[in-house]
Amino acid sequence: MRPRQSRPRLLQAMIDAFSLPDLRRRILLTVGILVAFRFIAHVPLPGVNAAALTQLFNTNAMLGMLDLFSGGAMRNFSIAAMGVYPYITASIIMQLMVPIFPQLQALTQEGEAGRHKINLYTHWLTVPSAALAAYGQLILLQRENVVATASPLSTVAIIMSMIAGTMFLVWLGELITEYGIGNGVSIIIFGGIVAGLPQSIGQGYLARGQFFGLAIYIIIALATAILIVIFTEAHRRIPVQYARSVFRGGRMYKQSGATHIPLRVNTAGMIPLIFAMSLVIFPSIIASYFAAAPSAEPNWANQLMTIFSPSTPLPLGLVYWLLYFLLVVAFSFFYTMVVFQQQDLPGVLQKQGGFIPGVRPGKQTSAYLNAVIYHITWAGALFLAFVAIIPFFAREVTGVQALQLSSIGMLIVIGVVLDTMKQLEAQLVMRRYEGFIK
């Protein structure tokens, strides 16, 4: 046992995981699916001018950031150019529709069968969402003379191919969730982000000789990662006591127990960043349809595109980042309250015979929990807003204009790593192995 204890715990945990046939199979299946995803990301669609496509992504910071999430699939205009983001959009829409429609609220009360139906509706909603996103990408590339204007039949074929690519990636993600390790859809996104990092660093920093800026950027990225881990794991523990009556041996006995409810500081996760970014770039997208050609004199639409662009330098660029900051704070409160109301913790406690010491069940418990979640959400909202504008500060401090790793990407990568580590640790603990954390 001495050699085993002398190894680092992370290394020992990986050795233990691969020594178990079932866990080794899960890990290898997850890795194999990620490899298949990388092959799919390099299957191009026809009719693309590769040189013009590369030039477009080099000059458009927003497209470069979106390409990072797809792992280069968008830059290649492959069948997986949209990744699994139409599915993420459909999931968010369904989650927001649950408190609005009583039929969906009833499904959430039906347990596993209800969740299965909601998941099925989410898959159906993914198809039109993917179709709209594919058509938008195709029109954008045609306007930039990257893709030749095709016949209606060719356009339909390209859109159907991109929809099929998205749905295939969603299916791969569900295979990982069921037979692999971690949340499959999140791991697919994680694989796309990580796969695009080496090329981004190599072309954006080392090729330009900005070694000092790269060093400062790494320091900022590490500090941001530590901050994200702290706030991702931070929670407020609400003490709860249970009083139950148990019939045993012909007599009624009263049993009591104590536990706690962990209310997360960052309940909303990365969703407020996605909502805020979608709104803040919307004026630029609309203005792009009215903008003058590059060879012509700029008009009001070109000016609007400049204002709502993340790459615009100070002082005009401050408009984009300040609006982004405020929208993240607002959406953090909105989404947290929506999720918290769906959980119905006061009702769950009352059904299970639980109560918060010093607080009466019912309305007082609901008011108390709402006040607590409101106060801790301020910390989570300001944290998300600060993380959202970190790329702006990093660009200004380092002077590196090719900064591609966004706050959403960092939140996704760190969140997936933490979640996967916890699931792997749980598998090891079930088999009486030492995990990552004591």
Distance CA 250, CA 287 (A): 77
Residues 93, 125 contacting (CB under 8 angstroms): yes
Residues 61-86 as b or e (16 or more Cβ within 10 Å = b) = bbbbbbbbbbbbbbbbbbbbbbbbbb
Residues 22 and 131 in one domain: yes
What is the reported pLDDT for 270? 78
| 370-408 per-position pLDDT tens digit | 889 989 999 999 998 888 888 777 777 766 555 555 677
Residue found under tokens 């980042």: 321
Q: What is the mean pLDDT of the chain?
A: 78
**Spatial CB neighbours of 47, under 8 Å, sequence gap ≥ 6:** 147, 148, 150, 154, 158
Which DSSP letter does residue 75 get? Answer: T
Three-state DSSP state, 148: coil
Longest dimension (CA), the chain: 91
Name the pTM for this structure.
Answer: 0.76
Residues 399, 210 contacting (CB under 8 angstroms): yes
Query: Within 13 Å and on the Cβ side, how many CA atoms surround 50?
Result: 7
Residues 286 and 322 in one domain: yes
Distance CA 40, CA 50 (A): 18
| 183-226 per-position pLDDT tens digit | 888 888 888 778 766 666 665 555 455 567 667 777 887 888 88
Residues 124 and 229 in one domain: no
What is the reported pLDDT for 425? 78
- Residue 237 bridge partners (DSSP): 262
Residues 391 and 242 in one domain: yes
Q: Which domain holds residue 429?
A: 1-205+425-438
What is the reported pLDDT for 295? 64
Residues 247 and 107 in one domain: no
| 226-265 per-position pLDDT tens digit | 888 888 888 888 888 876 654 455 554 455 556 778 888 8
Residues 432 and 371 in one domain: no
Residues 180 and 247 in one domain: no
Residues 165 and 293 in one domain: no
- Cα distances (angstroms) measured from residue 221 to each of 69, 276, 317, 410: 17, 22, 22, 9
The total number of structural domains that make up the chain: 2
| 1-24 per-position pLDDT tens digit | 344 444 555 566 667 777 778 888
- CATH of residue 277's domain is 1.10.3370.10
What is the reported pLDDT for 32? 92
Distance CA 29, CA 139 (A): 37
- Cα distances (angstroms) measured from residue 205 to each of 215, 334, 367, 401: 10, 38, 52, 9
Alpha carbon 337 to chain centroid, angstroms: 19
